[in-house]
Amino acid sequence: MIEVRGLTFDYPTRRALEDVNFSIEPGSVTALVGPNGAGKTTLLRCIAGLGQPMRGAIEVHGVDVLARPREAHVHLGYLSDFFGLYDELSVRRGLEYMAWSRGAHAVDVREVAARLGLADYLESLAGQLSRGLRQRLAIAQAIVHRPAVLLLDEPASGLDPEARLQLGDLFRELHRAGMTLLVSSHILAELEHYASDILILDAGRVIDQHGVRTERPTRSIELTLSRPSPGLDEALRRQEGVGEVHAEGLSARFDFTGDAAAQQDLLALLIREGHPVCAFAERRDSLQDAYLSRMRRPS
């Protein structure tokens, strides 16, 4: 759905993106993460056709963004991190303008407003809305023409926890509706709730891209003891499918290649051998763990 090849973007005194290559599958929700100044906003603006790169090619929904930006905009929705609204227009008129300006004349803006929880505010002026409602209106404006791809730059910044939760629900709904989302955010715990892929950008380069929920052959198991058990390390290492064991205090972590039945057998064995196991479960790395682990690794 999004193809970026050899993208290099320069500002007068520094290079913001360096030979960026990646592709994003249709219907995915990709978390775009990276430290401050990594080039996330520049990348999103380039994909949105708002910046002219020094080199490279960008294709969205089969349209060359750099050669035919206006055509690409029909398939694109973009919400900037610092967006503005037409404060003197009502919600209804703001949405109508955005739909018409993207060639979507047959759109029922009431439906879009209802989807974003704005049905009761259709005749309210945008300037009179709360921050959370303004954010929703901005997202409604970005999706009112039903784009195939939605680009969001820090969409949750400044929102209260409840509004963030609702935002996550909305993104899941858009994902279910088949929209492809590329979301830049620093709040990885939130991205985890809806992201299917992660794209890590650092110093203007893509340093990693992978699926968040990719099934791996090795699982990480974490167990907790109720009291110290000196022979635990040895007992674990003897078992088939157990990899390197990291034990510390009352807890231990190890890689395990066995399936769920083998995991059950292992637990039963440990208890039979008298190890006081009080917790035994697969440990799933959070998005934050994956990100930090990748950032600590040398490129």
Partner 1 sequence: MNPELRRNLWLEIGTQRLVAMPVVLVLVFALAYLLADTVADGWHAVAVSAAVAYGFATLLWGTHMAGDAVLGEVATRTWDWQRMSSIGPWTMTWGKLFGSTAYAWYGATICLPIFVFASLDDPKIDTSWWLGMLLAAAVLAHAVGLIWSLLLTRNQGARGQLGQRRSSAYLLLLLILLVVLPWISGPFQELATWYGRVETGRGFALVSLALFAGWAVVGAYRLMRIELQFRNRPWVWLGFCAFLMGYFAGFVPAGMRLFTGYSIAMLLTLVAAFTTPRDLLQLRRLGRAVEGRDLATVLQQTPPWLSSLLLAGLVGMAVLVTPTVICQGPFCIDGFALESLVVIAMLFLLRDLGILWLVSLGGRSRRPELAAVVYLIVLYSILPGVLGALGIDAGLALLLPRPDLAPAWGILAAVPGPLVVGVLLWRQARRRAGDPQPAVGGREAPGTRR
Residue 285 C-beta: closest distance to partner 1, Å: 20
Asked whether position 155 contacts partner 1 by CB under 8 A, the answer is no
Closer Cβ to partner 1, 18 or 255, answer by number: 18
The yes or no reply on residue 110 touching partner 1 (CB under 8 A) is no
DSSP 6-74: EEEEEETTEEEEEEEEEEE-TT-EEEEE--TTSSHHHHHHHHTT-S--SEEEEEETTEETTT-HHHHHT
Q: Please, what is the minimum distance in Å from the beta carbon of residue 21 to partner 1?
A: 14
Grouping H, G, I as helix, E, B as strand and the rest as coil, residue 281 is strand
Give just the sign of the alpha carbon dihedral 293, 212, 152, 4. positive
Q: Please report whether residue 37 would count as binding partner 1 according to CB under 8 A.
A: yes
Residue among 118 and 232 whose Cβ is closer to partner 1 = 118
User: Smallest gap, in angstroms, from Cβ of residue 18 to partner 1?
Assistant: 6
Count of CB atoms situated within 10 Å of the CB of 6:
13
x/- map, 42-81, partner 1, by CB under 8 A: ------xxx-x-x--------------xxx-xx-xxx-x-
Q: Which of residues 223-282 bind partner 1 (CB under 8 A)?
A: none
Taking CB under 8 A as the criterion, the residue among 3, 57, 97, 125 binding partner 1 is: 97
Candidates 8-16, 167-175, 256-264, 278-286; binding stretch for partner 1 (CB under 8 A): 8-16
Distance CA 20, CA 9 (A): 9
C-beta separation of 179 from 148 below 8 A = yes
Which CB sits closer to partner 1, 227 or 296? 296
As to burial, measured by CB atoms within 10 angstroms (0-12 exposed, 13-18 middle, 19+ buried), residue 296 is: exposed
- Residues at the interface with partner 1 (CB under 8 A): 10-18, 34-39, 48-50, 52, 54, 69-71, 73-74, 76-78, 80, 82-89, 93, 97-98, 100-103, 141, 201-205, 207, 295, 299
